[in-house]
Amino acid sequence: MARVCTVCKKGPMTGNNVSHANNRKKRRWYPNLQTVRVLVEGAPRRVAVCTQCIKSNRVQKAT
């Protein structure tokens, strides 16, 4: 599974860990993805959705 939200296409961001001595090392920030049962074209499917899409009701959960 790719670490990408299926609704808003949010993916990992890159940057640096910066130590107290100002040493820099590459790192990644991953979106908070949750596997949710969602109605896709009328049928329930399990998809990876970020928590912001869940909270803002951009997806319709399947019961």
pLDDT tens profile 20-61:
999 999 999 999 999 999 998 989 999 999 999 999 999 999
pLDDT(1) > 80: no
pLDDT of residue 37: 96
CATH number given to 1-63: 2.30.170.40
Domain locations along the chain: 1-63
What band does 7 get if pLDDT is binned at 50, 70 and 90?
A: very high
Pick from 46, 61, 40, 54: which is nearest to 10 by CA?
Answer: 54
Whole-prediction pTM: 0.82
Amino acid at the residue 1: M
| Residue 63 scores a pLDDT above 90 | no
CA angle 43, 49, 51 (to 5 degrees): 130
